[in-house]
Amino acid sequence: MYQWFAENFWLTCLVIFIMMSFVYNKVFRTRRLPVLKALIVYVLLALGSFMLTFFQVLGPQIPIVPSLAVAILLMLILRIRYFVEGRRKKKDSGQTGQ
């Protein structure tokens, strides 16, 4: 896996940027930013993903992509849990109201 990341540096950088953007939008963004501020945030995310790509590919080969994948998986599990709890609460409140 690390060999593929090393051979496809720019694709790895793009994957890291997309995953970081997803995590930012789902976890850290509380409201919509003005265009210039949003542009600054995404430029900084791009610079950070470029730097993290070096950590993924060169040197100690830190598992950045798998770590981001685990973070996204945990976010998905949490969203499913909230969905199931919401349906259960709606079902419970419907039964007690009858």
Torsion sign, CA atoms 32, 36, 40, 46: positive
Res 84 pLDDT > 90: yes
Residue 10 confidence class, pLDDT cut points 50, 70, 90: very high
Res 98 pLDDT > 60: no
Residue 3 tokens read as 């060999």
In sequence order, the 6+-apart residues with CB closer than 8 A to the CB of 45 are: 17, 20, 21, 24
Per-position DSSP letters for 26-43, written without gaps between them: III--SPPPHHHHHHHHH
Res 50 pLDDT > 80: yes
Give the separation between CA 98 and CA 83, rounded to whole angstroms.
23
pLDDT at 96: 65
CB 20 within 8 A of CB 46: no
